[in-house]
Structure 1
């Protein structure tokens, strides 16, 4: 960076910063982190720029850069890129992340050597950050297997397992905007780090002073960094393809990687198994971290808007399905045509239910399904999957906190040989034992096989979803969220969680709340009294799950509330259920549920705004 020439000393700068705290221009947490960067020798190269920012009284920027030390959330460390700051992704925080991972691994294992795998997606600076991480891990004495080209997150998870690595790292910010990047840390299982490892790594990050580093190219010459690419990726694709359950391949569709790496995994797997009618949506195929041809440059396949460009082409070419993977290709979104010929965006819950039903039916048909086999989902994923699983005669494990790492942990704890399928509502799907993270490729393979089979019967995915509703009850799920950025936003999230916990709403729209399951306090409280009715033992996390009933209706509703672990948001998940006695009642049940939920959502957002105004 260009070095400014500030006219103030570090002592004077800290006095100014302390005054800014007193005047509420800078948060206490930002001041504490900023003080370290201003005074400690490992941050010397950043200090001139910091002193200049303080002299210029750029306290809004400084608060953004320093209000926290990025923690390991549900998807690793992720955030805004900036040249400096403890709360942002930059060369120093990436190096600290790699150092923390290596230092903790060596302390935990008692070993001075080991093996690591590193991959990166196509985001801005991902390649540079990956080289930094590799150089730090190699300096710590680990042999590093480094993907030469941009790859998907599940390919990194696969590589950790395939190459017998002790740790791994993926440089990505998943579906975040172009301004962001991140560092996902993996353990020897191929799954993301879990407690207590995550806190142990962060402790090492915070204690980092001078970080060892080697020259990347020199390390490659010496063999401490070994380049990998198609040799490993090809094996990964074979493993995905081995989970095919059908020979049906007559399907016409479009696939978009949303300017990410999905062509290397999702599209190549589909081509490998013979889905020749699935074509690439070329305007969004270029790997480009600015996501120029994605509406609003927000490449999240949960958003309806991202499909509009592909829908325009699909409507002209007669495509029946549209598939979209996020930039690191661990999530998959699906759009299909309804009976009127219009494209409908399926939710992650709907796709998860369809895929769970598909694989359970296939295993039942070939006689391989036993009562010991199990499906795994998180507590904010649709109850329809549990109903489908129990009906098939398999086990459902559905008491997991949000984060696919908990599904991976359950696979290893319960035994991967009986694992059928794992899913979460945010478009995450996994089968098999080849990796321990969600994978858009396996989701695409099964979605296309199921769609092709249904097509041969004159049906669509939507038709089959209705059949599941008639059999197991109508299920309507969705999510709304409120974005709360920086230290002020963090305080807003804290206030909202406190309000939902201590003075919860009694009624929203037509819904009356009857109880809340508090995963932080591990207790169930009856409402409106908010008094403890019973306790439970796990899982423990900052999540609230409310139950409600609609007046004069058979509809039951749940509301999940949790702070996001990857974005500056508080998220609200709703789940509505109603029995359907016959197919002819389904349309009426759907309409009634939709109307109730729309009124509920508006009431929810009004309550949130009012709570923040009075806090």
Structure 2
């Protein structure tokens, strides 16, 4: 990095920083983290640049870079890339992450050696960061199994298990903007690290001084870093394809990796399974961390905008379905053509319900399902899946906090041989025992199989959804969020969570709230009084679920509130449900639910803005 020439020393710099805190230009947490980087010897390469920033009084940038020690959230460590800073992704924080993972793993196992697997996606700096992580792990004495070419997150999870590793790491920021990157840490199960391991790793990260680091190429020559690429990737693809439940292949459409790595996993799986009618959407196939041909350069398959270019081509060529994976290809979204020729974007909840129904029906028909089998979902995933599972006479485990790592944990705890399907509303799906993280490939395989079967019956995925609504009631779910960046944004998120906890709204739009389930305080409180009526024991996390009824309507609504674990956002999940007593009333029920929810969303955002204005 460039070495500017500051004219102040560390003590003068810290005096300027303390003055900035007093003047509210720098947060207290940033001051604490900045002090370490300015004064401790392991950060010496960064100190000239830091002193110059302080001398120039660029406290806004300093606060952005230092307001926190970037935590292990729902999806590992993830954030803005910057050349320096404890709150950003850079060479030092990547090295510290790998060091923390290795040091804690060795302490936990009591062994000085071990094995690790590393993969990276196609983001800016991902390959570079992966080489740093591998060099650190090798420096700790671990044998590193390294994907030299960019790969998907589920392939990393598979490799951890296939290679018998103690730990693993994936360099990715999933669907975040081009400015971001991240580090996902994996345990020997192939799942992301869970408590208490995550805190143990962070403790080692914070204590990191000099970090052992081997030269990457020399470590390869010595056999401490071994390339695995196609040897492992081909086994992964075959494992996914082995979970096929149908021979129907007559479906046409497009798959887009959104400039990520999905072509090598999702698309290759579909081709290996025989879906010749699914073509690549070429303009979004080139691996490019800038995501140039994705609208707004935001490669999130939850966003309807990302499908628009492929939709235009599908309308010209007669495609029936469009699939998209996010940059690390662990999540998969679907658009399907309706009878009017328009493409409808299915939500993660809708896709999850369709896939759960598909695999349960297939396994029932095959006689491979028992009451001991189970389906898993998180507390912010649609209740429709629970209804489908109960009708199929299998167990439903649906009291999990947000994060696919909890689905993987439950899968192992309850017995992988009885695991049927796991899903979360943010387009995450998994089946089988081959890995322990969500996988766009298995979801794409089943979505195409189901679409092809329905096509043979003259139906679409939309028709099957309506069948499920008639069986289990109409379900309408969605999510809105508010972005709150940096230390000031973090305070806003805390203020909103406190307001929802201490003075929750009694009414929003046409909805009257009746109770709140508080997963942090483990209480159920009646509304509007907000008095405790019941307690429960788990799961414990910073999540609230409010229940409401619509005036003059059979519609019931739940509102979930939680801070994001991977982005600077507070998220709001809504779940509306109404029984459908007459098939002829389904459209009327849908219209009433949509109208109520639109009014509710407007009222919710107004309440949020007013709450922040009052604090």
Same fold at TM > 0.5: yes
**1:489-541 deviations in Å (ceiling 9; x for gaps):** 00000000000000000000010000000000001001011011000000000
Task: Give the superposition deviation at 1:479.
Answer: 0.1
Tell me what 2:283 maps to.
283
CA distance in 1, matches of 2:451, 2:355: 10
CA distance in 1, matches of 2:80, 2:136: 22
**1:276-329 deviations in Å (ceiling 9; x for gaps):** 000000000000000000000000000010001000000000000000000000
**1:350-388 deviations in Å (ceiling 9; x for gaps):** 000000000000000011110000000000000000000
CA distance in 2, matches of 1:495, 1:275: 50
CA distance in 2, matches of 1:582, 1:455: 25
Tell me what 1:229 maps to.
229
Task: Give the superposition deviation at 1:416.
Answer: 0.2
Tell me what 2:378 maps to.
378
Tell me what 1:538 maps to.
538
Tell me what 2:62 maps to.
62
1:569-584 → structure 2 map (5 Å cutoff): 569-584=569-584
CA distance in 1, matches of 2:555, 2:4: 63
1:75-474 → structure 2 map (5 Å cutoff): 75-474=75-474
Tell me what 1:490 maps to.
490
**1:106-139 deviations in Å (ceiling 9; x for gaps):** 1111010000000000000000000000000000
CA distance in 1, matches of 2:282, 2:275: 17
**1:191-248 deviations in Å (ceiling 9; x for gaps):** 0000000000000000000000000000000000001100000000000000000000
CA distance in 1, matches of 2:177, 2:76: 16
| Count of aligned pairs between the two proteins | 615
Q: Alignment RMSD, CA only? A: 0.3
CA distance in 2, matches of 1:298, 1:553: 38
1:518-597 → structure 2 map (5 Å cutoff): 518-597=518-597
**Following TM superposition, where does structure 1 have runs of at least 4 consecutive aligned residues deviating by more than 3 angstroms?**
none
CA distance in 2, matches of 1:13, 1:605: 41
CA distance in 1, matches of 2:486, 2:339: 45
CA distance in 2, matches of 1:235, 1:583: 46
Task: Give the superposition deviation at 1:582.
Answer: 2.1
5+ residue gaps, structure 2, are none
Task: Give the superposition deviation at 1:148.
Answer: 1.1
CA distance in 1, matches of 2:369, 2:581: 28
Q: Is 1:7 aligned to 2:7, yes or no?
A: yes
CA distance in 2, matches of 1:120, 1:376: 28
CA distance in 1, matches of 2:347, 2:582: 24
Tell me what 2:503 maps to.
503
**1:10-43 deviations in Å (ceiling 9; x for gaps):** 1000000000000000000000000000000000
CA distance in 1, matches of 2:210, 2:52: 24
CA distance in 1, matches of 2:6, 2:437: 47
CA distance in 2, matches of 1:541, 1:438: 21
SS in structure 1 of the partner of residue 124 of structure 2? coil
CA distance in 2, matches of 1:107, 1:148: 28
CA distance in 2, matches of 1:585, 1:398: 30
Task: Give the superposition deviation at 1:573.
Answer: 0.0
**1:396-444 deviations in Å (ceiling 9; x for gaps):** 0000000000000000000000000000000000000000000000000
Task: Give the superposition deviation at 1:581.
Answer: 1.0
5+ residue gaps, structure 1, are none
Q: Is 1:19 aligned to 2:40, yes or no?
A: no
Normalising to structure 1: TM-score of the pair? 1.00
Tell me what 2:479 maps to.
479
SS in structure 2 of the partner of residue 412 of structure 1? helix
SS in structure 2 of the partner of residue 444 of structure 1? helix
Task: Give the superposition deviation at 1:583.
Answer: 1.2
SS in structure 2 of the partner of residue 308 of structure 1? helix
CA distance in 2, matches of 1:288, 1:412: 36
CA distance in 2, matches of 1:340, 1:591: 18
Normalising to structure 2: TM-score of the pair? 1.00
Tell me what 1:35 maps to.
35
